[in-house]
């Protein structure tokens, strides 16, 4: 059997990782400023994280959600405390798409409605309704197409108000910061407007914090910059530092019913061990503060580099837009300077999504290399 060939691959075989570094099979060391797509939050192979999962595996690795798993309660309690959402309820699942899929279902179960508002350049995952709510026709299969999704221009308050009056809307789904779309930040006023019109219309506000959450933005959730409280929040990526785990945070006014949602693997012992370890490390090592501090430093220094059109970001979720496609530049940084970086649907934007443990020295390594690579191109 061969692999179903859906991923364009770099010719690199990582065999070891530690903190912000990865080593390949030939012993070459890479600086990881991509975190495997914003997944690595507490750094690769953090000893406390490794021990928690290993110890758990030596006790019990899996049983289904038909028995009591107290670690799920511990996870919910620690997540509530660190995020500030102590009174919300948590549903555990396995991926970002699944979290959004369930969030949309919960909203529709709650108010009995069907119409979902999503925004231009959004990405919410690749499963049925999540992909339908994603603004990329090339990944939506005919069977996923539905009239229930209405796309509106991002950050356009007037368009939103008009559509809210026209339809009985079930939910509005928006990313805390658009990731795949190229690090596009919703304005405070836009998020506050969404909250206001949803409340007025009995629609639910779903904040997709799959990429922008878990401290990456310098607050636990990016939407907390706007001082709003969504009805539902989805989380994944940084939550397990690579172990597949995701969640849906649900406002206490939304009531659960047995069998309303479910999953075989969601909230299993190993996923809980990984997710608890991540929260413990974020708290103990003040990683949210570090993300803010290093991210601010990073963006300040980027301003001094010639050849950059725009810098967008909060904390350690940074988009650097060039006035040229960035594929070759990313490739050069990988092959010559041994640095992993992310791309985005906007071909000119590089995404910087490192571990929240990134140091100033590690940021400087990139800044020097990036300055050189762009300078060479300006001379040519
Ligand atoms: C904002 C956002 N939502 C959802 C997803 C989907 O997550 P997953 O790939 O875990 O299904 C992603 C993945 O990139 C994402 O960035």
CATH of the domain at 268: 3.40.640.10
Q: Residues 81, 187: one domain?
A: yes
**Mean local confidence (pLDDT), 346-375:** 97
In a domain, 1, yes or no: no
Q: Residues 192, 142: one domain?
A: yes
Each residue's pLDDT tens digit, 112-165:
999 999 999 999 999 999 999 999 999 999 999 999 999 999 999 999 999 999
- Which of 233, 259, 284 represents a domain boundary (last residue)? 284
Each residue's pLDDT tens digit, 46-82:
999 999 999 999 999 999 999 999 999 999 999 999 9
Q: Residues 182, 266: one domain?
A: yes
Q: Residues 61, 28: one domain?
A: no
pLDDT at residue 346 is higher than 90: no
pLDDT at residue 380 is higher than 70: no
Q: Residues 116, 242: one domain?
A: yes
- Which of 284, 306, 326 represents a domain boundary (last residue)? 284
Q: Is the CB of 96 under 6 A from ligand 1?
A: yes
Query: Ligand 1 atom closest to Cα of 209?
Result: 1
Q: Which of 98, 102, 123 to mutate to test the pocket of ligand 1 (most atoms within 8 A of CB)?
A: 123
Which residues form the domain of 368? 14-46+286-379
**Mean local confidence (pLDDT), 250-257:** 98
In a domain, 25, yes or no: yes
Q: Which of 124, 177, 342 to mutate to test the pocket of ligand 1 (most atoms within 8 A of CB)?
A: 124
Q: Residues 312, 213: one domain?
A: no
Query: Ligand 1 atom closest to Cα of 97?
Result: 11
- Å from CA of 271 to ligand 1 middle: 18
Q: Residues 223, 366: one domain?
A: no
Predicted structure pTM score: 0.98
- Which of 284, 315, 344 represents a domain boundary (last residue)? 284
Q: Residues 160, 182: one domain?
A: yes
Residues 6+ apart with CB under 8 A from 367: 298, 301, 302, 305
Q: Is the CB of 123 under 6 A from ligand 1?
A: yes
- Which pLDDT score is estimated for 378? 81
Q: Residues 186, 252: one domain?
A: yes
Q: What is the count of structural domains for the chain? A: 2
Q: Residues 272, 295: one domain?
A: no
CATH number at residue 24: 3.90.1150.10
């Amino acid at each position: 059997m061969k692999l179903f060939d859906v991923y364009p691959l770099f010719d690199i075989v990582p065999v070891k990782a530690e903190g912000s570094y990865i080593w390949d099979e030939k012993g070459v060391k890479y600086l990881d400023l991509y975190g495997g797509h914003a997944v690595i939050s507490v750094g690769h192979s953090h000893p406390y994280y490794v021990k928690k999962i290993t110890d758990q595996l030596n006790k019990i690795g899996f049983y289904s959600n038909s028995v009591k798993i107290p670690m799920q309660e511990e996870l919910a309690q620690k997540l509530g405390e660190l995020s500030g959402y102590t009174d919300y309820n948590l549903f555990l699942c396995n991926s970002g798409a699944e979290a959004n899929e369930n969030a949309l279902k919960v909203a529709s179960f709650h108010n009995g409605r069907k119409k979902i508002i999503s925004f231009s350049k959004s990405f919410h995952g690749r499963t049925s309704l999540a992909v339908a709510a994603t603004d990329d026709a090339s990944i939506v299969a005919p069977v996923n197409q539905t009239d229930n999704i209405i796309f509106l221009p991002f950050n356009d308050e007037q368009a939103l108000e008009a559509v809210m009056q026209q339809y009985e809307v079930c939910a509005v789904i928006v990313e805390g910061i658009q990731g795949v779309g190229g690090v596009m930040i919703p304005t405070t006023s836009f998020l506050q407007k969404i909250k206001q019109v949803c409340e007025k219309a009995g629609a639910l506000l779903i904040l997709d914090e799959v990429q922008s959450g878990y401290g990456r933005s310098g607050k636990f959730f990016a939407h907390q910059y706007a001082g709003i409280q969504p009805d539902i929040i989805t989380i994944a990526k940084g939550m397990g530092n690579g172990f597949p785990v995701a969640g849906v945070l649900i406002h206490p006014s939304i009531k659960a019913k047995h069998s309303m949602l479910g999953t075989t693997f969601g909230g299993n012992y190993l996923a809980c061990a990984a997710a608890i370890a991540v929260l413990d490390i974020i708290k103990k090592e003040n990683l949210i503060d570090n993300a803010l501090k290093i991210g601010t430093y990073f963006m300040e220094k980027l301003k001094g580099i010639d050849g950059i059109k725009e810098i967008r970001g909060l904390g350690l979720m940074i988009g650097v837009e060039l006035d040229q496609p960035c594929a070759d530049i990313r490739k050069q940084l990988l092959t010559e300077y041994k640095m992993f970086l992310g791309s985005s649907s906007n071909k000119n934007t590089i995404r910087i999504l490192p571990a929240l443990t990134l140091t100033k020295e590690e940021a400087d390594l990139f800044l020097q290399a990036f300055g050189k690579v762009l300078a060479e191109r300006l001379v040519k």
